[in-house]
């Protein structure tokens, strides 16, 4: 557990594809999210993306402790940004309370998803698509 006098906030980084999220969590009186100067509902308009973004906190069993979570997210699309946000928040919660590592790891929230777009190779139209072949 973190003491109030040592640090005011915890800062971590979460990544997914080309999206990078810098997360700061601060203990607060009520739960609040601020992403690039907007609220969670404004930034992630669909319920599915909101659930993805808040999954780390709801899995962590920290119902008694509330946080003010601020994030700066750059790059990627909106789904990749939601996953990057979740990855960063889960890392920050682990720094706050090391005993939650087992729960978070079992839920798969600490692993960075390595899937990314494959690069285009020369002589091909896309990463694997070859030009049309004609015998004559």
In tens, the pLDDT along 11-66 reads 999 999 999 999 999 999 999 999 999 999 999 999 999 999 999 998 888 878 89
pLDDT one-digit tens code per residue, 71-83:
999 999 999 999 9
In a domain, residue 103? The reply is yes
Which are the contacts of 98, defined by CB distance < 8 A and separation ≥ 6? none
Tell me 77's DSSP state: -
Query: pTM of the predicted model, to two decimals?
Result: 0.87
Which residues make beta-bridge pairs with 12? Answer: 23
In a domain, residue 29? The reply is yes
Tell me 120's DSSP state: P
Task: With cut-offs at 50, 70 and 90, classify the pLDDT of residue 7.
Answer: low
The domain total for the chain is 1
In a domain, residue 129? The reply is no
End-to-end CA distance of the chain: 72
pLDDT one-digit tens code per residue, 85-134:
999 999 999 999 999 999 999 999 999 999 999 999 999 999 999 999 99
In a domain, residue 1? The reply is no
What pLDDT, on a 0 to 100 scale, did the predictor assign at position 6?
A: 53
Task: With cut-offs at 50, 70 and 90, classify the pLDDT of residue 5.
Answer: very low
In a domain, residue 2? The reply is no
**Domain limits for position 53:** 10-107
What pLDDT, on a 0 to 100 scale, did the predictor assign at position 83?
A: 96
In a domain, residue 26? The reply is yes
In a domain, residue 69? The reply is yes
Please report, for the domain that includes residue 72, its CATH number: 3.30.230.10
């Amino acid at each position: 557990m973190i003491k109030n006098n040592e640090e005011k906030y915890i800062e971590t980084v979460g990544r997914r594809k080309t999206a990078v999220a810098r997360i700061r969590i601060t203990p607060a009186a009520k739960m609040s999210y601020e992403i690039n100067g907007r609220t969670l509902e404004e930034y992630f308009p669909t319920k599915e993306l909101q659930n993805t973004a808040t999954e780390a906190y709801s899995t962590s069993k920290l119902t008694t402790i509330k946080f003010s979570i601020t994030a700066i997210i750059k790059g990627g699309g909106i789904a990749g940004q939601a996953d990057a946000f979740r990855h960063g928040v889960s890392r920050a919660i682990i720094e706050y309370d090391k005993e939650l590592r087992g729960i978070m790891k079992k839920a798969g929230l600490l692993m960075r998803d390595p899937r990314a777009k494959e690069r285009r190779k020369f002589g091909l139209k896309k990463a694997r698509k070859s030009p049309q072949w004609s015998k004559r």
